[in-house]
Amino acid sequence: MKNIRVLAVGDIVGRAGRHIYLDKIMGMKDRLRIDIIIVNGENAAGGYSLTQEIAHDIFKSGASVITSGNHIWDNRDIASVLDREQALIRPANYPPGSPGNGYHTFMYKGTTITVMNLLGRALMEAVDCPFRAFDEIYEKIKDESDIIILDFHAESTSEKRAMGWYVDGKISAIFGTHTHVQTADEEILPQGTGYITDAGMTGSFDSVIGMRKEESLERFLTQRRVRFEPAKKDPRINGILFDINDEGKTVNVERIIERA
């Protein structure tokens, strides 16, 4: 098996994020020789959750899996979408009985690939332990999966870093999402797991993490509740490339920033 190149796209935020992603991704796939695309889509619909139509557009663009996070539930109709779209996953450590699945396994040219999604607990809502949830899923998939990739959707950099050390040598790669700020700490951990604390954001950078500056400043200045709206200007794609060899180890990792 030749190395498989995986692009993990940071959280798509609103129309600006959707448009630049759909406009650029096919050219990026050819230019960067990308085999597999994983997209975090939890903010794709107006900054909150996503819809069946948006998920369809992302899949049609070539994405193999759409991951999500805590905002996935902001669309009250998402439960039926999660049940229909097996490759649209939500964090696995929500309580048992939650709609959808926390991981997805698929084939690529004879290679079995599993993508997992977990939610952090530090500075976030109360959910089940992501470390124990990882163990439960890993025991189910480790013998059947050649490549395992984890989207860890979490606020705390320390929790993300801890998860990286916890899964090193067990999975092929882990990338963080949720904070919408791409970190400059991409590396290959000692036992061959590719890592970055946060893959960043796909959306407007004339903004505060994808939302209009005006409302964000009003919130900080007044401490009153404000309705945030996605910004539109200076759209960019943030992501992370992992080159994974036939032993399921990352051999190269590279941050991506694509401008309009």
Q: How far are the Cα atoms of 69, 98, 132, 155, 250 from residue 137, in angstroms, in the given order?
A: 17, 16, 9, 22, 21
Q: For residues 13 and 178, what is the distance between their CA atoms, to the nearest angstrom? A: 11
Q: For residues 177 and 159, what is the distance between their CA atoms, to the nearest angstrom? A: 12
Helix 14-32 to helix 52-60 angle (10° resolution) is 20
Two tokens, residue 53: 């139509």
Residue-by-residue DSSP string for 140-176: HHTTT-SEEEEEEE-S-HHHHHHHHHHHBTTBSEEEE
Cβ atoms 242, 32 nearer than 8 A: no
Could you say which of 71, 153, 178, 180 is catalytic? 71
Q: What is the DSSP letter of 235?
A: E
Q: For residues 104 and 109, what is the distance between their CA atoms, to the nearest angstrom? A: 16
pLDDT at 57: 98
pLDDT in tens, 48-60: 999 999 999 999 9
pLDDT at 257: 98
Q: Is 209 left (phi over 0), alpha (psi -120 to 50) or beta?
A: left
Q: How far are the Cα atoms of 112, 172, 188, 199 from residue 142, in angstroms, in the given order?
A: 11, 11, 20, 25
Burial of 67 (0-12, 13-18, 19+ CB in 10 A): buried
Q: For residues 108 and 64, what is the distance between their CA atoms, to the nearest angstrom? A: 10
Structural domains present in the chain: 4-259 (3.60.21.10)
CA-based diameter of the chain, in Å?
57
Cβ atoms 152, 130 nearer than 8 A: yes
* Strand, coil or helix: 131: helix
Query: Could you confirm whether 71 is annotated as catalytic?
Result: yes
Q: For residues 176 and 226, what is the distance between their CA atoms, to the nearest angstrom? A: 27
Q: What is the DSSP letter of 61?
A: T
Positions of E strands within the chain:
4-9, 11-12, 36-40, 65-67, 103-108, 111-119, 147-153, 173-177, 187-188, 194-196, 201-204, 235-244, 250-259
Q: What is the pTM of this model?
A: 0.97
List of residues 6+ apart from 227 with CB closer than 8 A: 215
pLDDT at 2: 86
Q: Along the 260 residues of the chain, how does pLDDT read in single tens digits? A: 689 999 999 999 999 999 999 999 999 999 999 999 999 999 999 999 999 999 999 999 999 999 999 999 999 999 999 999 999 999 999 999 999 999 999 999 999 999 999 999 999 999 999 999 999 999 999 999 999 999 999 999 999 999 999 999 999 999 999 999 999 999 999 999 999 999 999 999 999 999 999 999 999 999 999 999 999 999 999 999 999 999 999 999 999 999 99
